[in-house]
Chain A
Amino acid sequence: MPVIINAEKCKGCEECLSSCPFDAILMKEGKALINEYCQVCMACISMCPEGAIIEVEKEAPVGLEDMHSYKGVWIFAEQRGGQVASVSYELLGIGRRLADDIGTDLSAVLFGAYQSEAQELICWGADKVYHSSDPIFEHFHDEPYAQLLTSLIIEHRPEIVLTGATPIGRSFFPRVAARVRTGLTADCTSLAIDKETKNLLQIRPAFGGNIMATILCPNYRPQMATVRPRVMKRGRYDESKKGDIIHVKSEDLQSRTKVLQTVKDTSDFMINLQEADIIVSGGRGLGDPKGFKLIAELAELLGGAVGSSRAAVDSGWIPYRHQVGQTGKTVCPKVYFACGISGAVQHLVGMQSSDIIIAINKNPEAPIFNVATYGLVGDLYEIVPLLIKKIKEAKGLLS
Chain B
Amino acid sequence: MTIVVCIKQVPDTAEVKINPETGTLIREGVPSIINPFDMHALEAGLQIKDRVKGTVIVLTMGPPQAETALRDAIAMGADDGILLSDRAFAGSDTWATSFTLSKAIQKIGADIIICGKQAIDGDTAQVGPETAEFLDIPHISYVRKIEEITGTSIRVQRLMDDGYDVIESPLPVLLTVVKELNEPRLPSLKGKMAAKKAEIQKWGRADIMADENDIGLKGSPTQVKNIFTPEARSGRKMLEGSTEEQVDALLQELRGIRCL
Q: Residues on A close to B: CB < 8 A? A: 1-2, 17-21, 23, 35-43, 58-59, 61-63, 80, 139-140, 142-143, 146, 166-168, 170-175, 177-179, 181-187, 201, 205-220, 255-265, 271-272, 274-275, 278, 320-321, 326-327, 330, 334-335, 344-346, 349, 352-353, 356-358, 364, 369-379, 382-383, 386-387, 390-391, 394
Contact = CB atoms under 8 A, between A and B. Distances in A.
B186 interface: no
Interface residues of B, number: 100
Interface stretch (B50-58, B70-78, B249-257): B249-257
Nearest to A327: B179
Contacts of A215: 222-225
Given A175-B130, A210-B25, A386-B244, A262 B141 contact: no
A178 B127 CA distance: 10
A262 B165 contact: yes
Contacts of B221: 63, 181-183, 217, 219-220
Interface string B150-175: 00000101011111111111100100
B191 interface: no
Contacts of A207: 11, 13, 16, 25, 121
Given A184-B94, A264-B163, 12 more contacts: A36-B62, A140-B160, A166-B161, A182-B95, A210-B16, A216-B222, A257-B167, A265-B162, A320-B178, A353-B230, A371-B233, A373-B233
Contacts of A35: 63
B228 to A, nearest CB: 5
Contacts of A41: 224, 226-227
Given A256-B169, A349-B13, A40 B230 contact: no
A-B CB proximity, top 8 nearest: A183-B221, A183-B222, A186-B124, A174-B129, A178-B133, A208-B13, A171-B141, A261-B166
Name the prevailing secondary structure of the B interface residues.
mixed
A174 B132 CA distance: 9
A186 B246 CA distance: 40
B16 A375 contact: no
Given A371-B233, A390-B248, A59 B253 contact: no
B251 A257 contact: no
B202 interface: no
A245 to B, nearest CB: 27
Given A184-B95, A217-B222, A259-B166, A18 B22 contact: yes
Given A185-B222, A352-B233, A370-B236, A178 B130 contact: yes
Contacts of B227: 21, 41, 43, 211-214
Name the prevailing secondary structure of the A interface residues.
mixed
Contacts of A59: 218
Nearest to B176: A171
A228 to B, nearest CB: 11
Contacts of B95: 177-178, 181-184
B217 to A, nearest CB: 7
B68 to A, nearest CB: 14
B219 interface: yes
A263 B253 CA distance: 40
A257 B138 contact: yes
Nearest to B157: A263
B87 interface: yes
A96 B24 CA distance: 35
Contact of B140 (A36, A257, A321): A257
B213 A62 contact: yes
B197 interface: no
A301 to B, nearest CB: 10
A71 to B, nearest CB: 19
18 contacts: A23-B30, A62-B219, A170-B126, A174-B125, A178-B95, A208-B121, A215-B224, A262-B166, A320-B144, A327-B36, A344-B14, A349-B13, A353-B230, A364-B238, A376-B247, A383-B247, A390-B251, A394-B260
B24 A18 contact: yes
A361 to B, nearest CB: 11
B238 A212 contact: no
Nearest to B89: A36
Contacts of A394: 251, 260
B236 A320 contact: no
Nearest to A272: B161
A229 to B, nearest CB: 10
Contact of A260 (B132, B166, B180, B246): B166
A37 B165 contact: no
A374 B25 contact: no
B18 interface: yes
Q: Which of A19, A59, A374 has the most CB of B within 10 A?
A: A374
Contacts of A143: 138
B16 A320 contact: no
A353 B251 CA distance: 22
A357 B250 CA distance: 11
Q: Which of A41, A209, A257, A259 has the most CB of B within 10 A?
A: A257
Nearest to A261: B166
A186 B24 contact: no
Nearest to B156: A257
Contact of B168 (A1, A178, A258, A330): A258
B27 interface: yes
Interface string B113-147: 00000001111111111101110011111101000
A107 to B, nearest CB: 22
B169 A38 contact: no
A256 B135 CA distance: 14
A263 B166 contact: yes
B164 A263 contact: yes
A174 B235 CA distance: 39
B25 A211 contact: yes
B238 A375 contact: yes
B25 A187 contact: no
A212 to B, nearest CB: 5
Contacts of B248: 390
Q: Which of B227, B243, B257 has the most CB of A within 10 A?
A: B227
